[in-house]
Amino acid sequence: MKLLFVGVQGSGKGTQAKIVSEKLGIPHISTGDLLRGAFGELKNEIDSYIAVGKLVPDELMLRVLQDRLSLNDCVGGFILDGYPRNMAQAKKLDEIISIDKVIEIVISDEEALVRAIYRVTCSKCGEGYNTKTNPPKRAGVCDKCNGVLTKRADDNEQAMLKRIGIYHKETEPILLHYKSVKVNGEQKIDRVTEDILRALEI
Ligand SMILES: [Zn+2]
């Protein structure tokens, strides 16, 4: 089953993608992790954009993705998280792979704002936490890698409002492009997982 998880930042899509991937025994492919985990030639190319604060171009992202999707563990399916984020990217992705189903994890704009305000991110591995709803075991320290948790400069109200606007305008249209199902993301984590599994009819 080739799946795509979509949601505004803070919807919990990364967390859910991880849980569901373990339950279904298919890999969770986060494009953020892919970019951070690249090596060799590809890493140099990616870093040349990231180092100057530019977005990695679609063409490069697609190459990274195509490499990853060609590995053996993707034969039985995968959960893609973080790409595509707009129609142009969705159409390009169609050229390399066909997505079977899209799960949209829905939270209100107000909830997304509140979650962004309490969000902290690991400076080493990129894992996200919420000091209110999903705190790390030790304050300020990543559970996964002991990295330092920092508040991103763009996790403020104004920057988040902008991201929410972009999500509605650019990302939501891709839901019509695919066979997509909405799941209420404003529930306890295990309830969201249950709803996702039901939506996948498993
Ligand atoms: Zn970490």
- Strand pairing category for 149-150 and 119-122: antiparallel
Tens of pLDDT, residues 158-200: 889 999 999 999 999 999 999 999 999 999 999 999 999 999 9
Tens of pLDDT, residues 1-47: 999 999 998 899 999 999 999 999 999 999 888 888 887 888 899 98
Any idea which residues carry the catalytic annotation?
A: 13, 85, 119, 152, 163
Residue 63 backbone phi and psi in degrees, to 5:
-65, -45
In whole angstroms, what is the distance from residue 133 CA to residue 188 CA? Answer: 10
Q: 138 exposed, middle or buried (CB, 10 Å; 0-12, 13-18, 19+)?
A: exposed
Q: 169 exposed, middle or buried (CB, 10 Å; 0-12, 13-18, 19+)?
A: exposed
Instruction: Look at the block and give the residue holding tokens 């107000």.
Output: 110
In whole angstroms, what is the distance from residue 85 CA to residue 173 CA? Answer: 9
Instruction: Measure 15 CA to ligand 1 centroid, in angstroms.
Output: 14
Instruction: Measure 136 CA to ligand 1 centroid, in angstroms.
Output: 10
Instruction: Measure 179 CA to ligand 1 centroid, in angstroms.
Output: 34
Instruction: Return the bridge partners of 149, or none.
Output: 122
Helix (H, G, I), strand (E, B) or coil at 105: strand
Instruction: Measure 33 CA to ligand 1 centroid, in angstroms.
Output: 12
What residue ranges define each of the domains in the chain, with the CATH number in brackets?
2-199 (3.40.50.300)
Instruction: Measure 137 CA to ligand 1 centroid, in angstroms.
Output: 12
